[in-house]
Amino acid sequence: MKAGRDTAYIRSYDQEITGRIYLSQKYTSIQVPGTSSIPSFRYRPNTTLNLGVGATYRSFSLNLAYGFPGLNGDGSERGKTRYLDMQAHLYGRKWVIDFYGQFYKGYYLSPRDYIAGQDGFYIRPDIRVRLIGASAYYAFNNRRFSYRAGLIQNEWQTRSAGTFLLGGDVHYGIINSDSLIIPVEIAARFPQGKVKRLRFINIGPGGGYAYTFVYKRNWFATGSLTVNLPIDFGRESTHEGDVDKISFSPNFTYRVALGYNSRRWVYTASLVNSTVTTEGKSNEGVYAIRTGNYRLTVARRFTLSRKVKKAIKPVSDVLPGPKTEK
């Protein structure tokens, strides 16, 4: 059997330029575990809704976005978040590879009015998160299943198909505060109430499944889930010292894309979310750091003239497109 895509299922437009305009919002939130009698809560960042433009040619994509004032309200009741959010999702023919570099400072506590006597959102400008990670998964049915169709719009999957996934993840993270991770007003109620910093590293194998349902060739729904089962090395720091714990805490990544695909135009709504968990020695549950990106996209494919193809031939030679199979 020859390598490459099955053109009865996938049409590739890597010889064309796919241009797009989109709305997106990134996030990195922290789920703090409670107990059987105390509900958990979440620290959320106050990130912006961004308007962006981008293009894809062969295997290379470039996107530029900015949070224009007209797209975002005042948001002062949620405090201010300073962040550098780097997410790279590489959708190859056989492999899907993710890189994360999350650097956030400033959060608000959710749900609203969680702390008695504190109206509105409880703001924590001192909470900081640093998360660096990577994952790589092999798609076994890569001839008939396409991540690119729904997520970077340079292919069109015309028939329903799915694939099993196998790979692994590695993550390193720190949750830090100037005082305590738990708000001082309620810290005494939590077993980890004295913790001021949490640091962890986890690494391990994973697997999953992805499927695209296609209706009348143009309408599609893609869903993908990978579950990672790593060994986790966690360290909680208090004013009294450090406490270590080794555990097995599952991580997972899901991708969802819905929309309409055709020869020229593509309309999609998508979400990519990665959840990394770690256990502390003192608490009953797990901490969960959720990183993701919501996106609404309108894309169009442009056929290149011979003159343009000749001019960018050096780029084409560096970025070869995938092979096809008829």
Partners of 225 in the β-ladder:
209, 254
C-alpha dihedral over 173, 179, 180, 181, to 10 degrees?
A: -40
CA dist 288 and 277 (Å) reads 4
- Please indicate whether residue 23 or residue 39 has the higher confidence score (pLDDT): 23
**Mean pLDDT of the region 168-179:** 96
CA dist 149 and 156 (Å) reads 5
Q: How far is CA 40 from CA 31, 186, 281, 287, 289, in A?
A: 7, 12, 17, 10, 13
CB-facing half-sphere around the CA of 15: CA atoms within 13 A:
10
Residue-wise pLDDT for 103-144, tens only, equals: 999 999 999 889 888 888 999 999 999 999 999 999 999 999
| Statement: the pTM of the whole predicted model exceeds 0.85 | yes
Q: Tokens for 280, please give them.
A: 């502390």
Residue-wise pLDDT for 197-227, tens only, equals: 999 999 999 999 999 999 999 999 999 999 9
Domain that holds residue 141: 5-325
Q: Is the pLDDT of residue 99 over 50?
A: yes
**Mean pLDDT of the region 278-306:** 91
User: Sorting pLDDT into bands at 50, 70 and 90, what band is 4?
Assistant: confident
Give which of 264, 160, 255, 266 is closest to 214, Cα–Cα. Answer: 160
What residues contact 215, with CB distance under 8 A and at least 6 apart?
A: none
Residue 190 CA to its chain's centroid (Å): 30
Supply φ then ψ for residue 155, to 5 degrees. -140, 165
CA dist 296 and 112 (Å) reads 27
Amino acid code (one letter) for 183: P
Q: How far is CA 320 from CA 15, 104, 123, 255, 263, in A?
A: 9, 36, 49, 26, 21
CATH code at position 82: 2.40.128
Q: Domains in the chain: how many in total?
A: 1
Amino acid code (one letter) for 36: S
Q: Is the pLDDT of residue 313 over 80?
A: no
Q: Would you say 134 and 100 are in contact if contact means Cβ atoms under 8 Å apart?
A: yes
Give which of 182, 139, 173 is closest to 249, Cα–Cα. Answer: 173
